């Protein structure tokens, strides 16, 4: 890589798309990696797989690139690196705004590492993916200023209680076309939860009504006290919805009160689980209930191509099998 600097310096400067994977963690490797990044002054897209190895000097350099539009950093950015970025942002002698033309960001880390990005990000940002340990409950309120955000993917690493303020902040992003509030995959287990026990059908109705452009919705709440009315509100407020993940247990018998077709454009539906129609009965009775439920689901969403349930109880397996068979 030293030879690149010596003989191909112009090439490094002209790089516009760069993906650096499997970063080395030995001292010389880190030095070469950071030196290489500091020579890249025309980057438009950058993907780094080891945020924990990112130095503050390199991050400050990247934040000053007017060309940078797409930044993806996996693995957790260190808190001290984020704090040094915040110091640069707070430095009044700095004439340029950090990340002046950024459009897409994908980041991983704790509050101290992530907040400087959100506080400095301009209105050019349209896509944001965060995998965050939000132990200070500060991430959602910080999102509300990102007025032009179109795609939001928010993953929590640990237990999180969503407050009214959190959801109000997200609902201010009226241009959202995709919204995901979920558990981080590596941390997903039965003990993990995103709690939203205070939510009501009435609040959900007002919340979803502020997001009329959604075509993708993923909500992974831990047994929220929502009824089938919440589905009707989604149908009324989101006419473009094509992908929907409602990750809690649903009562399909209650869905029969919904007006059909409620979701004419829905092609993908994923649920956490459904209450057992035919549970404890023989397979023939379970299949009979499943056949009836699948017909009802197809009536509600006539263009549905994919239907899945995370749980795998006997009646849920029957539902998916009958749907996949096209019966």
Closest CA to 277 of 301, 303, 302, 249: 249
pTM, to two decimals: 0.90
- Produce one character per residue of 218-246: b if its CB has 16 or more CB atoms within 10 Å, e if not: bbbbbebebebbbbbbbbebbeebbbbbb
Q: What is the 3-state secondary structure (H, E, C) of 205-229?
A: HHHHCCCCCCCEEEECCCCCCCCCH
* Mean pLDDT for the chain overall: 87
pLDDT in tens, 238-256: 999 999 999 999 999 999 9
Output the pLDDT for position 1.
Answer: 44
Contact 142, 170 (CB under 8 A): no
Which parts of the chain register pLDDT below 50? 1-9, 26, 92, 187
Strand bridging mode 268-274 / 17-20? unpaired
> Any alpha helices (H) in the chain, and if so which ranges?
2-7, 9-14, 27-39, 56-63, 79-90, 111-120, 139-143, 164-171, 201-208, 229-237, 252-255, 283-300, 314-324
pLDDT in tens, 20-46: 776 555 455 667 777 778 788 889 999
Output the pLDDT for position 188.
Answer: 53
pLDDT in tens, 279-323: 667 889 999 999 999 999 999 999 999 999 999 999 999 999 999
């Amino acid at each position: 890589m030293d030879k690149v600097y010596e003989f191909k310096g112009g090439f490094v400067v002209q790089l516009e798309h760069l993906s650096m994977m499997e970063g080395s963690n030995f001292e010389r490797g880190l030095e070469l990696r950071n030196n290489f990044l500091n020579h890249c002054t025309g980057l438009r897209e950058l993907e780094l797989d080891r945020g924990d190895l990112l130095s503050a000097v390199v991050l400050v350099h990247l934040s000053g690139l007017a060309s940078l539009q797409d930044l993806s950093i996996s693995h957790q950015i260190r808190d001290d690196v984020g704090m040094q970025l915040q110091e640069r942002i707070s430095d009044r002698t700095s004439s340029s705004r950090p990340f002046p033309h950024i459009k897409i960001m994908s980041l991983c880390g704790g509050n101290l590492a992530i907040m400087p990005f959100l506080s400095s990000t301009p209105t050019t940002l349209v896509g944001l993916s965060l995998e965050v340990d939000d132990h200070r409950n500060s991430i959602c309120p910080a999102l509300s200023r990102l007025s032009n955000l179109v795609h939001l993917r928010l993953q929590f690493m640990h237990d999180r209680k969503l407050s009214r303020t959190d959801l109000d902040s997200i609902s201010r992003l009226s241009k959202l076309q995709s919204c995901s509030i979920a558990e981080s995959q590596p941390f997903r287990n039965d003990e993990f939860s995103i709690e939203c026990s205070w939510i009501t059908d009435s609040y959900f109705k007002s919340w979803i009504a502020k997001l009329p452009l959604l075509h993708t919705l993923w909500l992974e709440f831990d047994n929220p006290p929502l009824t089938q009315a919440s589905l009707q509100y989604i149908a009324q407020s989101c006419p473009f919805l094509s992908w929907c993940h409602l990750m809690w247990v649903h009562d399909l018998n209650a869905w029969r009160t919904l007006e059909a077709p409620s979701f004419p454009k829905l092609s993908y539906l994923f649920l956490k689980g459904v209450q057992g129609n035919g549970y404890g009965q023989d397979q023939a009775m379970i299949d009979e209930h499943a056949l009836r439920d699948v017909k009802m689901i197809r009536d509600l969403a006539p263009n549905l191509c994919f239907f899945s349930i995370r749980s795998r109880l006997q009646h849920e397996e029957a539902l998916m099998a009958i749907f996949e068979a096209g019966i």
